[in-house]
Chain A
C-alpha cells in the first residue's frame, strides 16, 4: 500500500505517495519528474543519482522513498540559483568536462558536497571523492581540473 511522505526538496515542501519498495531515485524521477537525478545502475555503483539527504551525500537509488519522511533532499535541480549557474557548473562547461553529460548531474552534486566540506582539496582528494561517480567519456582529466578551478573561485568568493 502506498505511503504518504512529507519532505523538503530543494527548499520547497513536497509531499508524495510511494510504495514501500520504491527507491528515492525512482520517486524523484517517476513520481516527481525531477529527472536531473539519473539512474545508471540502481545498485549504488555509478553515482549518477547522487543527491544530498539532510546534507549527507547519498546515492538516491540506495535510499527508499519512505525513509525520507521529514528529511531535506537537495537535487541537481536546486544547485543553480535564479538563472545563475553554480561555479562548479560554470567550470565544468568552461573546461569542456562533459561529453555525453549523463554523469554530470551526479558530479555536480558530489563535487559541491566536497567543496562545502573542504574548500581547498588536492587533486588526489578530488579524485578519491569523485571515485563514486563513474564517467565513461572523459577519462576524468577535465572534470578534476574543473572542480579544482571551481574550488579556487569559491574560495575567492568566500
Chain B
C-alpha cells in the first residue's frame, strides 16, 4: 500500500475530532493526580538538603510515633541490587543506580534526592512527619562543573566508577562514565583538502522537559502480594517492569492501569514514586497516593543534559563539506547514562561528508539524574553543528540552504552509525524552505534570520493491539501506549482505513497491563508508527477471519470473498448480497464465536525524520532582549495520519527549542542548590512570547510502514536552538564569526555581545 497518494485514502490524512476530546475539554479526563481510592492515605518524600554527602544514619522513630503516621520507607526496604547495566525498554539501565535514585543508599548525590518517605492520614501530617526524620550526613564537596568533573583531582561521585571506553574499562576511578567514538573516512585528510575551516564550541545548560502535570500515582497492595498501580507515565508496561525489578517481584504480581498523562517529553519514561508508594502501602495496609509538587519536579526529576560540544567543519570553496569533527560532552547528572550515543548519531547525519569523526563523553555531576528529553542529546549537538555550518556558509558567501542542499543526505546515503537511508525527505524540506515566502521576506533593522536542519532516527520496538468487534459491529481498538498527544485519534484513523468502516464505528482505548499485550514506552516517536502498525496488522487478521465467516454464510469458497469498504463481497456473477461488518457481528455466534483479532510486532523499518527551521528574531539593542518574529517549520512526516496533530508536534517542538535557546536554564548556587525551581523563574515560553508557528508538512512515505508513517515527535526540537542562535548572532551583526555560543541567550549575554561588536 505504500506509495499511494493521499487521495487514495478515505480516513487517514483527515482532521478528525479526537475520540478523547470531549473528556479533555470538560475536565472529566482523569490524570495522574485525579484518582482516589477508599481508605487512601498520602505519601510524601524527604529529600536531601545537600548536593553531595554520605548518609551516616537515618532515625525515623520520632516520625513514626506521630499520630496519623502509618508507615515510613527508606532504602533499607528496597531489595539489594547488583550494579551493572542491562538493556531495558528504550536503552540501558543500571538498576543499582536506579534504586539509589528512588531512595538513596550510602550517599546522596544531588540536592533533592529522595532519602525517605512517609505515609500518613493527611498530606499535612505526612509533611510535618518529614521534619521529624533525623538524617546524619557527612557533607562532601559537590561536583557541579562539567569540565571540572573530568579532572583527575575532582571529588568523585562513585568510588567504583571507571571510564568505559571502546577498549574496555579504565583502571582509575573517574567521573567520566563512558567515552565513545564514531568515524568514517579520514578527517585529517579531509581538513587538509578544505579551503575554509571553522571550529567553535557551544554550551547549553541543564533544562527541564517542563510537562505541566507533576508525577503522581496511587498504589494499592494486598495480602496476596499483588500490587495495583494507577499512574500517569509514558508507558504502563515500563512502570510494571521497572517496579518489578526494583522490588524483586514478578511482573505478573503488578497491574498498572494508565491514567491520562499531562505531558512527558521523555521525562516520564522512568519512575520515581511508584516503588516507594508500594513499600509505604505494604507497610501501612492502605492504598497510598503520592503527588509531587512543582519544586520536587524541578529538583529531582528529568532533566535534560547540559552540554559542551566542540564542532570543526571544513569545506571546499564551492561549498562541498569535506571534513566534520565533533567532541560531545553531556552531563548525566548523578548517575551515568546521558544520551551521549544518540547525540553522536545525530550530530552530522544530515550531511553526506565522507570524512567524519565524533567522540562523546558521559560525565556525572552532583545534579539530578537526567532523563530522556525529546530527541535526547540531538538538540545539543545540532546546536553546535548547524551554527558552524551557518558560519561556513557566511565565510563562503553561499546561501545556507543552498549549502545544505549541496551536502544533504538522500536515499542511499550512508549514516555514520551504519545503515543506509531509504527514502527520506531532507532535500524536499530544504527545497520547500528555500522557496517559502518567509525565506524571501525582508528583514528590518536589528533583525536576524537563522536556518537549521535537524535529524532524529526514530525507533520501532514492541507493540501489541487487539480489536474486539461488539455485537453491534463496532470496533473497539485496544492499544497499550498512553495517549500523550492524540494517538487515540491516529489509531482510530488507521483502524478505519484498514477495516474500511467509518470513523464513528471505531472506539480506540488504552488497555491496562493485563488487557492488552506488552508495549514498549511511548517514546522514540514510535507510537503512531509501531503501535499503529500493530493495529493495521490486527485489522488484517480480523479481515481474514471475517472473510472466512462470510464464505461460510454465503456458502462459497473463501478465496472468492473480498473485503471492500467494510463489507464482505462475493463476485458479482454469484449473485450474493454483500455482508456488512454489523451483519457478520450479529451472526458471529453461528460462525465460530465472537469476533476478535490480535497482532503483535517488533516493528522494523522506523523511518527517520528530518526537520528544517527558518526563524527570524529582533534584538532590542537597549536591553538585549530577543523577540521571535517569525517561525516556519518544515518536516518530513512520511504520511501525516492526522495532519493537525503532526503540525502540533512540529509547533510544540519548535517552541520548546525556542525556550531552550532563549530562556530556560537550571541556575545552581555553589552548594549545588537549584535557585529557580518554579515556573516563575524557570521560564518556559508563554503565549505572549511567540508569533504563530507556520508549518509545512513534507510527505515522503516511509517504505517501512503500510501507510508510509514516520515518527514526528522528536525531530521538531532538533533545529530551533541552532536557528535561533544563528538568527540572534545575525541580528547583532556577527557576520561569519558567531559571538553568542552559550545558551540561554539571555538579555545580559546578548547585550554584552552586541556592545562588544559596536566597540
Contacts and interface: CB of A to CB of B under 8 A. Distances in A.
Interface of chain A, helix or strand or loop or mixed?
loop
Interface string A18-53: 010100000001000111111111110110100000
A42 B123 CA distance: 15
Contacts, number: 183
B124 A19 contact: yes
B758 interface: no
A98 B36 CA distance: 25
A60 interface: no
A136 B22 CA distance: 20
Contacts of A19: 124
A71 interface: no
A141 B692 contact: yes
A100 B687 CA distance: 17
Interface in A125-158: 126-128, 130-131, 133-145
Interface string A46-65: 10100000000000000000
A119 interface: no
A122 interface: no
A102 B648 contact: no
Chain B's interface size range is 35 or more
A100 B261 contact: yes
A39 B33 contact: yes
B708 interface: no
B84 interface: no
B439 interface: no
Contact of B679 (A41, A94, A143): A41
Contact of B26 (A36, A39, A95, A141): A36
A85 B263 contact: no
B212 A136 contact: yes
Given A40-B213, A43-B680, A136-B210, A142 B484 contact: no
B485 interface: yes
A139 B656 CA distance: 8
> Among the interface residues B36, B210, B212, B685, which one has the most CB atoms of the partner chain A within 10 A?
B212
A128 B28 CA distance: 27
Contacts of B680: 43, 45
Contacts of B28: 36, 77
Interface in B642-668: 642, 644-645, 647-649, 651-656
B420 interface: no
A153 B673 CA distance: 50
A101 B262 contact: yes
A89 interface: yes
B686 interface: yes
A136 B31 contact: no
Nearest to B42: A30
A29 B680 CA distance: 23
A76 B29 CA distance: 12
A43 B293 CA distance: 10
A24 B573 CA distance: 71
B294 interface: yes
B679 A137 contact: no
Given A102-B31, A142-B648, A131 B686 contact: yes
Contacts of A141: 651, 690, 692-693
A96 B687 contact: no
Interface in A89-131: 89, 92-96, 98-105, 108, 123, 126-128, 130-131
B18 interface: yes
A100 B679 contact: no
A17 to B, nearest CB: 13
> Among the interface residues B17, B213, B265, which one has the most CB atoms of the partner chain A within 10 A?
B213
B26 A99 contact: no
Given A100-B484, A128-B688, A43 B211 contact: no
Contacts of A138: 648, 651-652, 655
A136 B652 contact: yes
Interface in B669-722: 678-680, 684-688, 690, 692-693
A72 to B, nearest CB: 18
B679 A98 contact: no
B592 interface: no
A144 B485 contact: no
B263 A136 contact: yes
> Among the interface residues B15, B24, B484, which one has the most CB atoms of the partner chain A within 10 A?
B24
Contacts of B260: 100-102
B67 to A, nearest CB: 16
B25 interface: yes
Contacts of B486: 96, 99
Nearest to B22: A85
B214 interface: yes
Contacts of A140: 655, 685, 687, 690
A33 B692 CA distance: 36
A89 B27 CA distance: 11
> Among the interface residues B15, B27, B648, which one has the most CB atoms of the partner chain A within 10 A?
B27
B34 interface: yes
B589 interface: no
A127 B31 contact: no
B565 to A, nearest CB: 27
A130 B687 contact: yes
Given A139-B652, A142-B651, A43 B645 contact: no
B644 A134 contact: no
Contacts of B647: 96, 142
A128 B651 CA distance: 19
A98 B263 CA distance: 11
B359 interface: no
Contacts of A5: none
A85 B25 contact: yes
B149 to A, nearest CB: 30
A21 B124 contact: yes
A79 B24 CA distance: 13
B185 interface: no
A134 B265 CA distance: 15
Contacts of B34: 29, 35
A14 interface: no
B30 interface: yes
Contact of A48 (B212, B648, B684): B212
Given A138-B651, A139-B651, A102 B213 contact: yes
B148 interface: no
Given A43-B679, A93-B17, A103-B212, A137 B263 contact: yes
Interface in B14-59: 15, 17-18, 20-22, 24-31, 33-34, 36
B294 A102 contact: no
B687 A75 contact: no
> Among the interface residues A40, A75, A99, A139, which one has the most CB atoms of the partner chain B within 10 A?
A139
A31 to B, nearest CB: 11
A75 B652 CA distance: 27
Contacts of A46: 212, 294, 679
Contacts of B213: 38, 40, 100, 102
17 contacts: A29-B34, A35-B27, A41-B679, A43-B678, A43-B680, A45-B294, A48-B212, A77-B28, A89-B26, A96-B642, A99-B486, A102-B212, A102-B260, A102-B263, A105-B25, A137-B648, A139-B690
Interface of A: 19, 21, 29, 33-43, 45-46, 48, 75-77, 79-80, 85, 89, 92-96, 98-105, 108, 123, 126-128, 130-131, 133-145
| 10 smallest beta-carbon distances between A and B, as pairs | A36-B27, A102-B262, A139-B655, A96-B644, A101-B24, A99-B485, A45-B679, A139-B651, A35-B34, A76-B27
